[in-house]
Structure formats: structure tokens, C-alpha cells
Structure 1
Amino acid sequence: MKPEIKIPQATAKRLPLYYRFLQNFANEGKKRVSSQELSEAMKIDSATIRRDFSYFGALGKKGYGYDVNYLLEFFRRTLNQDEATNVALIGVGNLGNALLKYNFHKNQNTKIVVAFDTKAPDEGTTINDIPVFRPERLEEKFKEYQAELAILTVSARSAQDVTDRLVAMGAKGILNFTPVRLSVPDSMKLMNIDLSLELQALIYLIRNNQE
């Protein structure tokens, strides 16, 4: 993605979704698709899709729609699908173990290459073929395995301390699964995923709809 393009975070989060559905259309042999067809498939308002696409210039033609292969190639380049991104997982509890087992198998350009956990032995160990070390070796192994991003599934009390270390190391971004609202500099990208809040919001929507 070109640095001069300012993309809202909500739009940025939808880009991988567009890429996935365009892959589905291409696999079905479709050559072109309208914003309405994308809307029906993705359950996203067509006006939102057109607005998202408008940030990148003229991606389609009026009366024709969008060329599927062109869009697929465009989003592949935009999302850097040809460049591998190494990820470090910090915290191998229940959620961390699940992430190690999954390890983004459907995203060939993203992979957890190293993990850290307080229960790891001094000499390190492996879980699902991923090396796991004690947090004391974070700086050393993060660099050795050429990790760029970190996934945090640590305890709330240690989340900011680990974040400060990642900032000092020059990590580019954090996917935060902890309930803590982390403090990071503008140079670091941060995304928060709070499963309990999402579940509470879903319960509210269900009950509110019933009423």
C-alpha cells in the first residue's frame, strides 16, 4: 500500500475480506463483478464497498462493474501477498496454543515463526513445530527469527511491559488479545481484539432484537 494514501482503519480491516471473496469469484470463473454482487456475497452495504474502493482511485467502470482478475491482482499487491511476514506469539496459554495450531495456514504469507512463554524450559521447546522460548530471550529470538509483528496473549499485568520491550526493539505492530489498552508510539500499529467485549455486544444485539 502506498504510504501517501490515508486509509481509515475500518476500511483497512475489510481489505483482506475483499481479497478473499474476489478469490472465490475467480475460482468460480467470474470475469467481472458489480458492487451489488460483492455486497450480497459479503453482507456489506454496496455504498461502503464503493467508498472503500474509491480510496484507491478508479478500480471499476460505470455500467461494467469491476474486473475480477484486475481487482484480485490489485489487492494482492496492496496486501503484499507476495511478501512473507514473520510473526512472534507472546503468551502460550489456551488461546496461544490454539493460534499456534492454526498458524494462519490459509494465509501463506503470514506465519508464526517463534513464540514465548514463562513456562518454557530454559533451553526452549517446540509446540506444533514452532520454537518456544522464555520471555527473557525475546529480544534475541525476535531478531533471530526476523519477526516483524507480535501477537499478545499474555496476562493483563505484563501486557504493557512486553509492549514497551517490543517498541524498543522496533517491532512494527501488535495484535493485542489482552483486555489492556496499550500505550504505543504513532510509529507502531496496534489492533485490539477483545473477545469478551465482542461476545457481550453480540448478546446485547440478540436480546435487544428480541425485545
Structure 2
Amino acid sequence: MMRKAIPEASAKRLPIYHRYLGFLHSAGKKHVSSDELSEAVKVESASIRRDFSYFGALGKRGHGYDVAYLLDFFNKELHQDRLTNVALIGMGNLGRALLNHNFYVSNNLRISAAFDIDEAVVGKILSGVPVYPMSDMVAQLRIQQLDVAILMVPQEVAQEAADHLVEAGVHGILNFTPIRLTVPEQVRVQHVDLTSDLQTLLYFLDHDNG
């Protein structure tokens, strides 16, 4: 059966479902209804059923969802069943904090190579991760066959860095810079704009209390 195209909003909710299903499985719960999931993750039950429908028949009407089956299903969909190595481009304060953390909350993601121009860190191993010069980025990404990169460089060099990532064969970029990158259509860019997100939060707080 052909799978329906999944809207971005639905895709962003999948890790939320996965996290709570893991909690339920650890607690020994066998089945869960969309209403129970809705109450726990604060997503409308109709939206949950619609999100799940993009993957076919995951549950039975009147019986809810099998927790173990659903957890295993989303493990595979979210690549939780295998290790994914990613590259970190830029070793500023935020980059170093992320490197020190190195996805310790997840067993399936790992920063395996970092890149920077700072001679104070280049050539060293920080938090178990080797730091290479930016001049070696394309070659190292190809050698290590890294398909995903986290971009944390200054905004004035963001597009140039993205161009090199594309040249190296990277297909996924998590972009922490404010620049909207121009990349080929086969390259997926996920933007993380902490400043804008904070400003949006403050806006709603002001208007909710107004």
C-alpha cells in the first residue's frame, strides 16, 4: 500500500509520541487509546489518529494501540533502531555545549566529527570527538560517510559552509544560524532559531496576560 505524504506538523509530533510510548512500555502498559495519548502529550486525539493514519492501520477500533508494536514501529521510523553519526560544524559556545552533551539522552545519535577554524581546538579530541580543520571538512565527511550535519557557524559564512556540506554529499542539515540556506531540493534543512522561538514565546505571554 502506498504511504501518504506526511505533513511536517505531523512529523514533528512523532518523537513526542515515541517518547511517551517508551514510558508506557517501561511501565508495563500493553495498550493505549488515542484519548489516553491525547491527555498525556497534549495533542488532540483526532490529530493523533490522523497522524497515525499516514502509516496505515496501526490500531484497531475499540481496542486502541498495542504499545510494544507501536514503539517498535516508531523506533524504525525514527531510526531509533540503529546508530546515526552526525557532524558538528562550528565549535562556538553553543557548539561546545552540544558536543559535551553529545546526545546522551539518546542511544541512536552521536556526534562523531567536529569542524572549526580555531587552532586552539583543531587537532584535539573533545568529549571523545575529534576536531578537524574546516579545510578538511569535505574530505572527512566523504571518508566517514556522514549524511547529517549540525551547522553552528557565524551567519556570514553559513551559506558557504552549507555549499561545502552539499559538495560532501550531506543530505540533512540542522541549521542553527538565522540564514535561510539555499540548497538543492534533495537536501533537507531543519531550521532551529532560538531567538525567534523565544521572541514568539514572549509575544504570546504578553498577549495571554494582556
TM-score normalised by the chain length of structure 1: 0.94
Structure 2 counterpart SS, 1:115: strand
CA distance in 1, matches of 2:102, 2:180: 25
State the Cα distance separating 1:103 from its structure 2 match: 0.8
Structure 1 counterpart SS, 2:164: helix
Gap change, CA 1:40 and 1:27, over 3 Å in 2: same
Contact 2:87 2:148 in 1 (8 A): yes
Q: Which residue of 2 aligns with 1:127?
A: 126
Q: Which residue of 1 aligns with 2:150?
A: 151
Q: Which residue of 2 aligns with 1:175?
A: 174
CA distance in 1, matches of 2:176, 2:7: 21
Contact 1:96 1:153 in 2 (8 A): yes
Map 1:22-101 → 2, pairs under 5 A? 22-101=21-100
Q: Which residue of 2 aligns with 1:194?
A: 193
Alignment root-mean-square deviation, CA: 1.7
| Identity level (%) | 49
TM-score normalised by the chain length of structure 2: 0.95
State the Cα distance separating 1:5 from its structure 2 match: 4.2
Q: Which runs of 5+ in 1 are unaligned?
A: none
Gap change, CA 1:101 and 1:122, over 3 Å in 2: closer
State the Cα distance separating 1:142 from its structure 2 match: 1.5
- Following TM superposition, where does structure 1 have runs of at least 4 consecutive aligned residues deviating by more than 4 angstroms? 2-5
The number of residue pairs the alignment matches comes to 210
State the Cα distance separating 1:169 from its structure 2 match: 1.4
1:209 to 2:199 alignment: no
Name the aligned partner's letter for residue 68 of structure 1: V
Contact 1:120 1:132 in 2 (8 A): no
Structure 2 counterpart SS, 1:124: coil
Gap change, CA 1:76 and 1:21, over 3 Å in 2: same
Q: Which deviates further from its counterpart, 138-147 or 62-71?
A: 138-147
Gap change, CA 1:168 and 1:181, over 3 Å in 2: same
Structure 1 counterpart SS, 2:23: helix
State the Cα distance separating 1:62 from its structure 2 match: 1.0
